Amino acid sequence: LKVPHIGWNDVRAQPESPLFKGVRHPVFYFVHSYYMDCENPQLVSATCDYGITFPAAIVADNVWAVQFHPEKSQLNGLRFLQNFLSGS
C-alpha cells in the first residue's frame, strides 16, 4: 500500500446516504496516510478502494466523518457540503 494516498478516487456511497444525494459520480480528493478501521459496518456510509477497501465516510448519531477533502473536491465536494449543511 503506497502512502500517502494523494489524489482523486471513486467513492462507493450507500444508496440511502443523504450526504451523497445529488452526487452523480462520486469522485473525491484524498490526502492521507492513515484510515479508520470501522468495526460496525452499519456506520459506514461510503467506501474507497486504494489497495484495500476502507471507510471513506462514517455516520454515527450526530457525528459525521469523511476521509476525503470535500473542500478540494470541486462540484462533488460542494454538493456534499450542501447536503451536510442542510442536515441531511
Contacts of 58 (CB under 8 A, 6+ apart): 36, 38, 43, 44, 45, 64, 65, 66
Assess whether pLDDT exceeds 90 at residue 1.
no
Spatial CA neighbour of 69 closest among 1, 4, 2: 4
pLDDT attached to residue 88: 61
Decide which of 2.40.160.20, 3.30.460.80, 3.40.50.880, 3.40.50.300 is the CATH code for 5-85.
3.40.50.880
Give the span between the Cα atoms of 37 and 26, in whole angstroms. 21
pLDDT attached to residue 2: 83
pLDDT attached to residue 87: 78
Assess whether pLDDT exceeds 80 at residue 50.
yes
What ranges do the domains of the chain cover? 5-85
Mind listing the pLDDT tens digit for each residue in 8-47?
999 999 998 989 999 989 999 999 998 888 999 999 999 9
Give the span between the Cα atoms of 3 and 11, in whole angstroms. 18
